[in-house]
A and B are shown apart, each in its own frame.
Chain A
């Protein structure tokens, strides 16, 4: 696949980046298979241009964006975030995108809207995992995710259209995906075709699949373990072999507590995990 070279505002960060080859070959994207290397192997089948993403629901001006609009309508900026997977590993990725709030503002949200629901493309003839439950891990498709409106409007929440200076490889969720850096990676839904403003909390795929393990909020929280493993620390996926591994303490809200803790004031994060 040929990737577009993007024009964007670069940024600085002290974090050591995960090598591009690992970012693009170690993916959870069950639409192409449950193995970590399946997406890199099978995502070439996906057509991303033309693309259509709809913004609708409780908005006064619903609209659609096409493939080129994703790269032209909003100024692109680089964001270097740690992506903390619920499986207790993390990567540091230089994403390129724009704040989700910029897109939502264009839709003129109605006051009754409280949540934002996202949906991934459903195209079983190009996404092999959607055509067989044995390949696709037996989770319901299309993949759906959701955020509370104030989470969606938060300046850290972006729609990513690229990484490492180029447009997103298909296995990373081309042409457009969500990135919410203080939440576990599964919230960051890939290959989005629909963004809908709703009054009710939307159903989300992993919550439907295993509600006792994956909550709606899914905030990174070292104090609330997954039922089958500890979330207190994480292994960084970086360059280096077996003998060169690093395990670090997981930070509350993945290190963004100063920016986002206020969103959850008064909430019992054990209950709303």
Chain B
């Protein structure tokens, strides 16, 4: 297989999974077949889905390096954009289906709930990354592009705290997630240290 074919093949699989799962979940929720509370189901699915996709996007570069398959990097953007898409739907679901498009309630919830601030902050980071994802923007930005996209490390931590904080008591799942996050961040130890320019003790 040529690189081009491999990329197209892999991207098709990503589309099938990410878009397919989304379609199945919306179909089931709209027709009231997604558990007793289709609203909770779709909010949780898009929220957890966004985090899963974000984590997967962070695994591309270590895996590509490890397996010496540089073409994989050409598929990373698609996964990142799906994460942004899921995040946007997560917020829209909350506003539309949970709060019934009540503008004042939506704004007061955004303003009053610290765990929502964190989610929103992560959304803004993903928004900036999505807007700068076209190749011509990337070329134009030069070195600034990488600097901007390094904020993804902060975003993934913010998303995790938002997830953890939203829980009532059960934290088993969140512990698994923080372990995976710690792992993907540890792989980039040197880079993150440089980025933060941590003072030497």
Interface residues of A (CB under 8 A from B): 21-22, 25-26, 30, 34, 36-37, 87, 89, 134-135, 137-139, 209-210, 225, 228-230, 232-233, 235, 237, 239-247
Contacts and interface: CB of A to CB of B under 8 A. Distances in A.
B36 interface: yes
Given A137-B168, A228-B115, A230-B109, A21 B36 contact: yes
Given A137-B170, A243-B30, A232 B35 contact: no
Interface in B166-197: 166, 168-172
Interface in B13-31: 26, 29-31
Contact of A209 (B29, B30, B169): B169
A211 to B, nearest CB: 13
B166 A242 contact: no
A74 to B, nearest CB: 30
B97 A242 contact: yes
Contacts of A245: 39, 97, 100
Contact of B35 (A26, A138, A225): A26
A interface, by DSSP: helix, strand, loop or mixed?
Answer: loop
A137 to B, nearest CB: 4
Tier of interface size on chain B: 20 to 34
Interface of B: 26, 29-40, 42, 97-100, 102, 105, 108-109, 112-113, 115, 165-166, 168-172
Given A137-B168, A138-B169, A229-B113, A22 B100 contact: no
Contacts of A137: 168-170
A89 B98 CA distance: 10
A36 B170 contact: no
B2 to A, nearest CB: 43
B172 A134 contact: yes
Nearest to B33: A241
A241 B38 contact: yes
A245 B41 CA distance: 13
Given A243-B30, A244-B32, 8 more contacts: A26-B37, A36-B40, A228-B115, A232-B105, A237-B37, A241-B32, A241-B38, A245-B39
B105 A233 contact: yes
- The 5 A-B residue pairs whose C-beta atoms are closest, nearest first, are A26-B36, A34-B170, A134-B172, A22-B36, A241-B32
A25 B26 contact: no
17 contacts: A36-B40, A89-B37, A89-B40, A134-B172, A137-B169, A139-B169, A228-B113, A228-B115, A228-B165, A229-B109, A235-B100, A237-B36, A240-B32, A241-B34, A242-B26, A246-B100, A247-B102
B100 A25 contact: no
A230 to B, nearest CB: 6
A105 B65 CA distance: 75
Contacts of A243: 30
Contacts of B113: 228-229
A235 B171 contact: no
Contacts of B98: 235
A34 B26 CA distance: 24
Contacts of B30: 241-243
B37 A225 contact: no
Nearest to B35: A37
A162 to B, nearest CB: 19
A48 B109 CA distance: 42
Nearest to B42: A242
Contacts of B31: 241
Contacts of A89: 37, 40
A17 to B, nearest CB: 14
A244 B39 CA distance: 10
Nearest to A139: B169
Contacts of B37: 22, 26, 36, 89, 237
B12 to A, nearest CB: 28
B29 A242 contact: yes
Q: Which of B29, B35, B115 has the most CB of A within 10 A?
A: B35
A238 B156 CA distance: 35
